[in-house]
Amino acid sequence: MPVTGQRLELDRPTPASVFPRLEPRLSSVQKPIQYVGGELNSTVKDWHCAPDGPTVRWALMYPDAYEVGLPNQGVQILYEVLNECDWIVAERTYSVWPDMEQVMRTGDAQGPIPQFTVDAHRPVRDFDVFGLSFSTELGYTNMLNALDLAGIPMHAVDRTDDDPIVLAGGHAAFNPEPIATFIDAAVLGDGEEVVLAISEVVREWKTEGCPGGRDELLRRLAVTGNIYVPKFYDVTYGADGTIEAVVPNRPGIPFRVTKHTLMDLDAWPYPAKPLVPLAETVHERFSVEIFRGCTRGCRFCQAGMITRPVRERSIETIGAMVENGIRKSGFEEVGLLSLSSADHTEIGEVAKQLADRYEGTNVSLSLPSTRVDAFNINLANEFSRNGRRSGLTFAPEGGSERLRKVINKMVTEEDLIRTVAAAYSHGWRQVKLYFMCGLPTETDEDVMEIADLAKKVIAKGREVSGRNDIRCTVSIGGFVPKPHTPFQWAAQLDAETTDARLKKLRDAVRDDKLYGRAIGFRYHDGKPGTIEGLLSRGDRRVGAVIEQVWRDGGRFDGWSEHFSYDRWAESCATALAGTGVDLGWYTTRARDYDEVLPWDHLDSGLDKDWLWADWEDALNPDATDVEDCRWTPCYDCGVCPEMNTEIQIGPTGRSLLPLAVV
């Protein structure tokens, strides 16, 4: 017998659209178009779309504003993959701006207007699964706001069979412990296959009449070994505040939860129907992911570590995806994306053949930030053949060669100067250099070398081009230690020291009369990075801090104009009182090997001993560099045998099809 009739199809009517209640109020908010839906290639399906049996329904959210969330490729891919199934409904929702939040909370004669999807404007609470994709931890307060607006109990323990399963994914889900109180489950790794597997479990449970309610559904998800359900794990703490153990609290629940890895990218050429926004967004382009994963071994880079191994898309699939995406969307810019796009084994042929195909059209091609040692001028010329020459971006990351060795970013000053010289001599006028401040072992002198490097770049640019309108922009972000990296044990630099170093660097650049005006300088103060550090390496106790911040008005913490460090610091002092830990304990404190880390029971495939050995190598000036294992013998990081995967690279010897010039 079913526990509740709410989940049975016959007893569950199609929810009414909230748009008739919303439309009269749209004129009172900024950018109302972001709430109306109807984008090209969006999908609206019947609530009872399944030809037989129950329908499974997903509300997908990128917890930020529409202009940031809509271009997110992860959500677009899952939206399309799910909606291709005739028994699944998938719709999208985004964070609403404070003016719309006020409208929704004020409501009308029927009461408050709930969090809604932009596709059919259905209430989020009526869906089976509420899936959130976190690329940054600073979106956690937006999640709480969406839950509250949706009428979904904020704490997972308070939810009933009438509430959706709240599911977290994305890079931040590799340590979901700070939000364990608020989510029902988390998924690690690639989402294309796992969302369909989850949907199958939900459908089978609904077909059987929802036996055991949401608790049984969560148990079925957890026993697969690939879905993390926090409520099925107990955490104990020692007298010093560290974690003693994280253990399952019922039979059949695995001690470790493993990540998902999609091995055949060619079989999943998504997005095939890219969403075209109605309002202006942060990226106005069609993006094709040309490979996934990175084995360069940069010790600070969580994305590179957790997405191993490298899996390339074939040149044929890339060509077909570009052609299809342009035709289906009308975008004029195509971004070839990955963590290090110039490392694709066939990038030269990809660039040349795409440039051949679209020469003389209004289609432009672009690469994201390029490694200095992977860049070549022929490649850059192919991507600018249609006459569009945007600035080139390189990421040395560390200011000094000593520091670049610490982080395993094997780029010398000579490499950088030679690369920018080639760019400036071939007509480029603008180069952007990205660095980090606060890296392990960093000194004031390491940071000041950034100024020297920028001046040498300008000097070389003027020399090889014979022009004085050469520009170099230095952009600096604060280093945040991340889980599943060799730097997960590192102490984070405090905000005050970070700000002092950056001020000293800024002054050194501005005071230089010969080069200062040619060097742009962009940086964020150290305080947002401190809070990101709290959330990235926090445990379940941090959930109380997040909730307190939200209750005090915290929203859109990834936006500088909305972020309040004082609000976070005060909430830490209040919510962590009596626990024996504080903000500094989570951020500026170094960890040792024996400490149980909050994410140790979540398996990214990386061997902890290998990560620790690499951390020790970072601190050892005499240690050898860690080469890219695509071209060297295996370094035994653990991913391939642990995940039953393998590195997949070309060259394939194939060509773009069709080869006809557009």
Give residue-wise pLDDT tens across range 400-421: 999 999 999 988 999 999 988 8
Q: What is the pLDDT of residue 2?
A: 40
How far apart CA 187 and CA 165 sit, in angstroms, is 12
Q: Spell out the domain ranges in the chain.
A: 18-258, 285-390+626-656
Please state the length of the chain: 662
What sign for the dihedral angle of Cα 474, 475, 479, 485?
Answer: negative
How far apart CA 657 and CA 519 sit, in angstroms, is 43
Q: Are 171 and 152 in contact (CB under 8 A)?
A: no
How far apart CA 247 and CA 257 sit, in angstroms, is 12
Which DSSP state fits 109? T
Element (H, E) at 565: helix 565-575
How far apart CA 532 and CA 537 sit, in angstroms, is 9
How far apart CA 656 and CA 320 sit, in angstroms, is 7
- Assign 537 to helix, strand or coil: coil
From the list 565, 569, 535, 571, the residue with the least C-alpha distance to 552 is 571
Give residue-wise pLDDT tens across range 487-525: 999 999 999 999 999 999 999 999 989 999 999 999 888
Q: If you write DSSP's letter for every residue of 38-73 in order, what string do you get?
A: --BT-----TT--SSS--EEEEEEESS-HHHHTT-H
Asked whether the predicted pLDDT for residue 4 surpasses 80, the reply is: no
Q: Are 136 and 480 in contact (CB under 8 A)?
A: no
Q: What is the pLDDT of residue 7?
A: 45
Q: Are 100 and 29 in contact (CB under 8 A)?
A: yes
How large a percentage of the chain has pLDDT more than 70? 96
From the list 631, 69, 611, 647, the residue with the least C-alpha distance to 307 is 647
Give residue-wise pLDDT tens across range 95-126: 999 999 999 999 999 999 999 999 999 999 99
Q: Judge if the upstream peptide bond of residue 651 is cis by omega within 30 degrees of 0.
A: yes
Give residue-wise pLDDT tens across range 436-489: 999 999 999 999 999 999 999 999 999 999 999 999 999 999 999 999 999 999
How far apart CA 511 and CA 630 sit, in angstroms, is 44
The correct CATH number of 285-390+626-656 out of 3.30.70.120, 3.30.750.210, 1.10.260.40, 1.10.3720.10 is 3.30.750.210
Give residue-wise pLDDT tens across range 159-187: 999 999 999 999 999 999 999 999 999 99
- Mean pLDDT of all residues belonging to the chain: 93
Asked whether the predicted pLDDT for residue 369 surpasses 70, the reply is: no
